Amino acid sequence: MLACAFGSLLLAIVVGLFIASMGTSVGKAMRERQFDQVEKYSSAEINRFSIYSLITRSTNDVNQVQTAFILGLMVAIRAPMMAALAIMKISSKNIGWVEVTVFCVLVMLACIGAILWFTFPRFKRIQWMNDDVNRITKEGLSGIHVVHAYNAEGYQEGKFKKANDELTGTHVSVTRAMAFLQPVMTTIMSMLGLAIYWLGAVIISEAEGLEERLIDFSDMIVFSSYAMQIIAAFMMLIIVFMILPRAMVAARRIDEVVSTQPTILDGDVVESPAGMEGRISFRNVSFRYPGAAQDALTDISFDVEKGETVAIIGSTGSGKSTLVKLIPRFYDVGSGEVVVDGVNVKDYRLDALHRKIGYVPQKAVMFQGTVASNVNYGDTEGERTEEDVRKAIEIAQGAEFVERMEGGYEGKVAEGGTNLSGGQKQRLSIARAVCRRPELYIFDDSFSALDYKTDRQLRSQLKKETAGVTTIIVAQRIGTIRDADKIVVLDEGRVAGIGKHEDLLRECEVYYQIARSQLSEEELVR
């Protein structure tokens, strides 16, 4: 018996180690698959799920499934085996005892089923409520300066309290239902033991002779022991049942992320035809955001020749940023086509298309690391030297502030660039694009945080250092784009005019009104 006990202990330890290893491997695999899939998503899929929900699915949901998997391996295999062996042992005993045991098991299953029916939809709501709590928390933290400036702490607390109270209330109702399960199981076990002994007393009293009574008594003790094993097996399963509903909901949410295919898929082209480098054409392009009531862009057509600097300007909401996002295929056009180097962007392999482009977004994005790692970023990292990084930062007019930083070019950049000003982040973002040495630059309102002097110096350096490279600039300031080879004026998603600064002042009313709000009377020559 001692040998069996120590053997059981050793096996339990080994099984625990195996289960822990398998459980963590399952969690790792789920997180990796989600992250790999999300990296392939276009903006449309990201907006469909929302960032907050994707974070919850890759953390909280994975934890739920991982916990259920580990407990399932520990309990879900052992408990049914215990129950099956115990049932085999008692099946040949007195039929009355068997009937009572079967009845108690059926009552137990009915209680478990009723509680699962009550809790399952609430578990689904809990996961969505977690998304809401994460969203409101991130909203309040990322916008903390605005919250303080407008004394809106009470408003944010109210929003959070409402979401948190809903989550807490649902948790409480589910916990109460689950708390009801344990006493019910204990009561059923006690009633079963009482019923077995009561029937045993009747059977023993009706037996003839001491020997027969002793046999009936021993059968009752053995049956009682095995019946308790059956109930104990089901009580072990209760642990799994308590977390299974929430894990099932979490698993479905994870599967939804993994099984959702991106709408923007790779083409086959990796190289463009010779002699077509740097040419871009928009041909009758229309685009509508998913779920929007009307087009953001309608029937846009214009050409950009190699080495040209083309500016895009228009009022807020006219579709400027949307237009340039169609070039690297952050979205796909609804109709028409965008052609880069003589090839429809839909036909390019995405990595080949992106390698042609140096993209600077409207909001400068910095990653935790160093100045150098943020500038020399992407799949061309191994092709660039420290000197390339320094030169790119110098062109972007950032050398002065970088050299003043502790560590210089190896100076630390906090997550999101929180230790840098808006202008500094914008200049490093521009340096990142320059360091890539693309054949096409896209500046999406990327000079807005720069003063006029820095703006002018930066554009002058860019023009000198990137001569022959096609450049598209989205801007709000006339001063940034007035020297462009071609200016495209957008108005409510349509082309209102195309031409040089002087021509548009005379011929395009929309452009004239924008210029009038920014330039002096002497500069407004129509």
Band of residue 522 on the pLDDT scale cut at 50, 70, 90: low
Mean pLDDT of the residues in the chain: 84
How many domains does the chain fold into? 2
pLDDT digits (tens, 9 = 90+) for 363-399: 888 888 999 999 999 887 888 888 989 999 998 888 8
Q: Would residue 428 count as lying in a domain?
A: no
Q: CATH no. for residue 323?
A: 3.40.50.300
Rounded Cα distance between 345 and 339, Å, is 6
Instruction: Give the pLDDT confidence score for residue 95 in this predicted structure.
Output: 65
Which of 212, 232, 259 delimits the end of a domain?
259
Q: Are residues 335 and 206 in the same domain?
A: no
Is residue 156 domain-resident? yes
pLDDT at 226 over 80: no
pLDDT tens-place string over residues 316-340: 888 899 999 999 999 999 899 999 9
User: Is the pLDDT reported for residue 526 higher than 60?
Assistant: no
Do 75 and 188 belong together in one domain? yes
**At 484, is the secondary structure helix, strand, or coil?**
coil
Range of the domain at 521: 272-356+476-526
In a domain? residue 483: yes
Q: Is the same domain home to 288 and 220?
A: no
Q: What is the 3-state secondary structure (H, E, C) of 395-437?
A: HCCCHHHHHHCCCHHHCEECHHHCCCCHHHHHHHHHHHHHHHC
How much is the pLDDT for 512? 87
Domain boundary residue among 206, 230, 259? 259
More confident residue, 516 or 300: 300
CA dihedral 473, 475, 477, 481 (to 10 degrees): 20
Q: Is residue 525 part of a domain?
A: yes
CATH code assigned at 57: 1.20.1560.10
Q: Are 104 and 206 in the same domain?
A: yes
- With a pLDDT cut of 70, the percent of the chain lying above it is 97
- Taking the CA atoms of residue 97, residue 102, residue 103 and residue 105 in that order, the dihedral angle to the nearest 10 degrees is 130
C-alpha span between 38 and 17 (Å, rounded): 32
